[in-house]
Amino acid sequence: MAKKESNAIATNRKARHDYHIEETFEAGMVLKGTEIKSIRAGRVNLKDSFARIHKGEVYVHNLHISEYEQGNQFNHDPTRARKLLLHRKEINQLIGQTQQKGYSLVPLKMYIKNGVAKLLIGLGKGKKKYDKREDLKQKAMKREVERALKDRY
């Protein structure tokens, strides 16, 4: 049986600009029926979201999933905290690493894999302003080199 391709529903492009991502984890989510329908419609925003560990469980906060248009009184709250499903070993590893100063859990990408919504979270350390400027300089230099090589050949 062939595996299906994973489709990226939403990405948090600002996360890699603001954090040094050291490790990533794939997590499932506890969702309601109207939430998964909105996710399949692509109505998700990861911009200001973050993950936090509370009582040995991982929750994602400020993840905005718009209300489902055809939903009635059973519709969900768009920014409620949602539980992430990870293995106990991964949670214990995250607990140890996030207790270090400067580390946080950042949602990077949401996608559907084999019919199930998944969230890719990264363990990141915040960048300083000079780190961000350096990354932009390197990106611009790389772009110029590629442009020069393209013109040459």
Tens digits of per-residue pLDDT, 120-130? Answer: 999 998 888 88
**Range of 101's domain?**
8-127
CATH of the domain at 69: 2.40.280.10
Query: Tell me, what's the pLDDT at 35?
Result: 86
Residue 3 lies in a domain: no
State how beta strands 82-85 and 57-61 pair: antiparallel
Number of independent structural domains in the chain: 1
Tell me the pTM: 0.79
Q: Which residue has the higher pLDDT, 4 or 146?
A: 146
Residue 72 has pLDDT above 80, yes or no: no
Residue 71 lies in a domain: yes
pLDDT in tens, 99-147: 888 889 999 999 999 989 999 999 998 888 888 888 889 989 999 999 8
Nearest residue to 79 via CA among 69, 68, 90, 67: 67
Cβ burial 56-90 (10 Å sphere, 16+ → b, else e): eebbbebbebbebeeeeeebbeeeeebebebeeee
Residue 144 lies in a domain: no
Average pLDDT score over residue span 66-73? 80
Average pLDDT score over residue span 146-153? 84
State the average pLDDT for the chain: 87
Residue 15 lies in a domain: yes
Residue 59 lies in a domain: yes
Residue 66 lies in a domain: yes
